[in-house]
Chains A and B, each alone.
Chain A
Amino acid sequence: MMASFTRLIAGRNPAVLLASLGAGTVAAGVLLSDSSALSAEGKKSLYPPSADFPDLRKHNNCMAAALTPAIYAKLRDRVTPQNWTLDQSIQTGVDNPGHPFIKTVGCVAGDEESYEVFAELFDPIIKDRHNGYDPRTMTHPTDLDASKITNGVFDEKYVLSSRVRTGRSIRGLSLPPACSRSERREVERVVVTALAGLKGELTGRYYSLGDMTEQEQQQLIDDHFLFDKPVSPLLTCAFMARDWPDARGIWHNNEKNFLIWVNEEDHTRVISMEKGGNMKRVFERFCSGLKQVEQLIHERGWEFMWNERLGYILTCPSNLGTGLRAGVHVRLPNLSKDTRFSKILDNLRLQKRGTGGVDTAATGDTFDISNNDRLGKSEVELVQMLVDGVNYLIDCEKRLEKGQDIKVPSPVAQFKK
């Protein structure tokens, strides 16, 4: 048996051989006729892409919908300039077949180049996730001019708090799934140095996760600022919790309404928030803070990852474009019981979450309402849509309080032609 294998192997292309004989038995023959060490190069020819293609039959995420055997075969052996691979990108989607509340993306970028090197996979995922946005033909508008927002102050009888968040990545350093310890520490250094330059109402302080005192930790918990080691398998399977809590931290201003997370799911997450309904002011601070931070890192020769096809580059494809989630905690006791609630939200391009965030269900009558979209519309457009939408919801609530009827609004237009 062995002798015939070695004769065949001597004269034939291993890939063809494997296809006809079955990888396992030939693997044995080839391996033991050479040395016993299985080299990385050797593995590639012993195991064709078809042998490694993941079993996605029970899966329901964007990656599983987009990844065909042909795409996998084409991309499996490619690497980004930092040696990040397709298998690493998709690991989280292979390990997490589905999610009860949301259709997850199922893949992450390890670096800026991932979106190019693995474009055959990321492009259809981006299209699927972002309402048909085509990175090959479309451009993404960036607009951080908060003065354009109208009607951005909500009735505080309904809106309890307002918040805008986004993420920013530092160009030239790998993203959280891929970064080495020194890269992560460099992200921390670059960002913390820049934040130390903020002044006025943005003057603040950095708290390193590993170094904070118990008192500081308790204060951050009480303020609802402290983020903890990720427990969600969506993140841990994407290697984002490695080396915790090394180079992770929280910065916030003295007023506690502008907050930056360092090295959690993205290099930075930037959050502007306040109690009450003044979304306009929240967004103004958001834009002003972001611009100042950008200026401060420019002064030291760094910049954010951005391009005009994809906007701001972040770890998860769902956060491309603006990476922006603008939302409120709003009481809607009557509207939330109306059967048209979901349809109204859909047409306004809004989503609801529980007040604990992405993986929670709502308790009582208070909902986290935020924009659905991230890519293809600018920050100003998305915040205005959120503002208009929330005002509409409050109007509905008021009508229902008075026993009046409400209307389901027509769907908001998708991309500008």
Chain B
Amino acid sequence: MAKNCHNDYKMKFSGDEEYPDLSLHNNHMAKVLTRDIYQKLRGKSTPSGFTLDDIIQTGVDNPGHPFIMTVGCVAGDEESYEVFKDLLDPIISDRHGGYKPTDKHKTDLNFENLKGGDDLDPNYVLSSRVRTGRSIKGFTLPPHNSRGERRTIQKLSIEALATLSGEFKGKYYPLDGMTDAEQDQLINDHFLFDKPVSPLLTCAGMARDWPDARGIWHNESKTFLVWVNEEDHLRVISMQQGGNMKEVFRRFCTGLLKIEETFKKHNHGFMWNEHLGYVLTCPSNLGTGLRGGVHVKLPKLSTHAKFEEILTRLRLQKRGTGGVDTASVGGVFDISNADRLGSSEVDQVQLVVDGVKLMVAMEKKLEKSESIDDMIPAQK
């Protein structure tokens, strides 16, 4: 059901009168949305009723973020990226390194194409993780979907996940149906996701009806995890302690492809096209939607003057160990790929594997008070 199906009425007022005040804003949407673009797009709506104001509300309500340049807009359905391309294409280009409307995105989920990745030093690399998202064709996205749609997505997900076997045999825990014991266990495992508190998400309407039709599925060994109906229809996560990113990626690809097979069999493909790759709620997650990363101890390197530069050249980003909105604790950083669109899954995980290996080697040098100047990489 449309969140603010108000558009015909709003067209009574002029574009100038409706144009948001973005004077204090610093996000991708605010950089791109001129009065002209607003005027051009304000009368449009996707077939399911998502409008320009719906797309930008989160960016209007959240002028900036202390650590990262936020996107400031969301898609309500697959068609948003087409109907509002005059706004979203420049944002995508800005966010994804100049990606053009005519560019094609490469998908590669063949884990055998990854070189190395099984030998990251576990004295430094504490854990490894790869996540992505998937949207199910034929449904609108979390900012826009109705309770009926969300419940159907949950139902289909449960059915699909129940067919998995072997290392992927697992169980689904609906957020509003779990016992206290189950909840405690999921918290201890660091699996439980909670109602979003970040205004970036709540202002985009993604927490509506919480916890209806939200849940967590994971396999018995707790190395493969699926979130249902949080920021995307599905978030798929492969993780384990230590530095064997190769194994994490193998499980990731294998599991994802199995899940996709099952969804396709029931006639629900994932949203994908050859220009944008996998279509997700946030434009920042288009392409692979993949964030592959490690928690790694870099107390010396992280205080080195060139740390940021090294990360940039390696096409990596740092976060605190609490995730996207946190700072690092005790010299341990979450290091992951910065790119999502324009390179494949294998490419991106390769960058993480190679980059982290190099940074651990630099850390060891710095421990011995040796210089790392000749190790600084060229821009990847």
Known contacts A40-B47, A47-B146, A54-B209; 12 additional CB pairs below 8 A are: A24-B156, A37-B47, A38-B77, A47-B148, A82-B6, A83-B8, A84-B6, A85-B5, A94-B209, A180-B6, A181-B19, A243-B21
| 17 examples of A-B residue contacts, CB within 8 angstroms | A24-B152, A24-B156, A36-B78, A36-B138, A37-B48, A40-B5, A40-B48, A43-B149, A51-B148, A81-B9, A91-B208, A91-B209, A94-B209, A95-B210, A181-B17, A183-B13, A186-B17
A52 and B147 contacting across the interface, CB-CB below 8 Å: yes
B-facing residues in A229-261 (Cβ within 8 Å): 236-237, 239, 241-244, 246
Tell whether A2 is near chain B: CB-to-CB under 8 Å: yes
Interface bin, chain A: 35 or more
Name the contact of B176 in the complex, choosing from A38, A55, A178, A181 (C-beta under 8 A): A55
The proximity string for B residues 73-111 relative to A, scoring 1 for CB distances below 8 Å and 0 otherwise, is 000011100000000000000000000000000000000
Which of chain A's residues have a CB closer than 8 A to the CB of B17? 181-182, 185-186
**Stretch with Cβ within 8 A of A (4 or more), from B53-61, B237-245, B370-378:** B53-61
The 9 closest A-B pairs by CB, nearest first: A51-B148, A47-B148, A182-B17, A182-B13, A24-B152, A40-B49, A31-B138, A39-B47, A52-B148
The residue on A at minimum CB distance from B159 is A24
Chain B nearest CB: distance from A85 CB in Å? 7
> Which residues from 268 to 299 on chain B have a C-beta closer than 8 Å to any C-beta of chain A?
268
Contacting residue for A94 out of B21, B138, B208, CB 8 A:
B208
In whole Å, how far is A294's beta carbon from the nearest beta carbon of chain B?
A: 25
Q: How large is the interface on B (under 10, 10 to 19, 20 to 34, 35 or more residues)?
A: 35 or more
Closest A residue by C-beta to B46? A37
Quick check: A236 and B5 within 8 Å, CB to CB? Answer: no
Residues of A within 8 A of B21 (CB): 210, 243, 246
Neighbour of B212 across the interface among A38, A55, A181, A186, CB < 8 A = A55
Q: Chain B contacts of A32 at CB under 8 A?
A: 137-138, 267
Q: Which of B186-223 contact A (CB under 8 A)?
A: 202-203, 207-210, 212
A182 to B19 Cα, complex, angstroms: 8
A2 interface neighbour in B13, B176, B267, Cβ under 8 Å: B267
| A243, B1: Cβ atoms closer than 8 Å | no
**B20 located at the interface, meaning its Cβ lies under 8 Å from any Cβ of chain A in the complex:** yes
Residues of A within 8 A of B46 (CB): 37
B31-75 residues with Cβ-Cβ distance < 8 A to A are 46-49, 53, 57, 60-61
On whether A243 and B61 interact (CB within 8 A), knowing A43-B146, A82-B9, A180-B18, the answer reads yes
**CB-based contact B4/A88 at 8 Å:** yes
- Residues from chain B with a CB closer than 8 A to the CB of A23 are 148, 152
Mask: chain B, 160-195; 1 = CB below 8 Å from A; 0 = not: 000000000000000010000000000000000000
Question: Which A residues are in CB contact (< 8 Å) with B140?
Answer: 38
* Interchain CB contact under 8 A, B13 and A43: no
Interface residues of chain A, those whose CB is within 8 Å of chain B, are 2, 23-25, 27-29, 31-32, 36-40, 42-43, 46-48, 51-55, 58, 79, 81-85, 87-88, 91, 94-95, 178, 180-183, 185-186, 210, 236-237, 239, 241-244, 246
CA distance A99 to B3 in the complex (A): 25
- For A110, the closest partner residue in chain B by CB is B6
Are A40 and B209 CB-contacts (below 8 A) given A180-B13, A181-B18? no
- Closest beta carbon of chain B to A88's beta carbon, Å: 7
How far is B60's CA from A55's CA once the two chains are assembled, in angstroms? 31
B266 at the interface (CB under 8 A from A): yes
Instruction: Decide: B61 and A242 in contact? CB cutoff 8 A.
Output: yes
Decide: A43 and B138 in contact? CB cutoff 8 A: no
Q: Mark B298-315, 1 if CB is under 8 A from A, else 0.
A: 000000000000000000
**With A38-B48, A47-B146 as given contacts, are A242 and B57 in contact (CB-CB < 8 Å)?**
yes
Interfacial chain B residues near A27, Cβ < 8 Å: 138, 152
- Pick the contact of B60 from A46, A52, A94, A243 — CB < 8 Å? A243
How many angstroms from the CA of A27 to the CA of B268 in the assembled complex?
Answer: 10
Query: Is the C-beta of B10 less than 8 angstroms from some C-beta in chain A?
Result: yes
- A28-B146 contact, Cβ under 8 Å, with A94-B208, A236-B202: no
State the CA gap A349–B190 with chains docked (Å): 49
**Complex CA distance for A267 and B350, rounded to whole angstroms:** 56
**Complex Cα–Cα for A51 and B150 (A):** 10
| A42 to B140 Cα, complex, angstroms | 12
Contact B61 A180 (CB under 8 A): no
User: With A24-B156, A37-B47, A38-B138 as given contacts, are A182 and B60 in contact (CB-CB < 8 Å)?
Assistant: no
Q: With the chains together, A42 CA to B148 CA distance in Å?
A: 13
Q: Which A residues are in CB contact (< 8 Å) with B1?
A: 43, 52, 85, 87
Which residue of chain B has its CB nearest to the CB of A111?
B9
Q: Which A residues lie within 8 Å of B9 (CB)?
A: 81-83, 180
B151 and A51 form a contact (CB under 8 A): yes
A84 to B208, CA, bound (A): 17
Chain A CB within 8 A of B369 CB:
no
Q: Which residues on B sit within 8 Å (CB–CB) of A55?
A: 176, 209, 212
B53, B148, B155 pick with most chain A CB within 10 angstroms: B148
Q: How close is B102's CB to chain A, nearest CB, in angstroms? A: 22
- In the complex, the answer to whether B267 meets A244 with C-beta atoms within 8 Å is no
Which single residue of chain B is at the shortest CB-CB distance from A53? B147
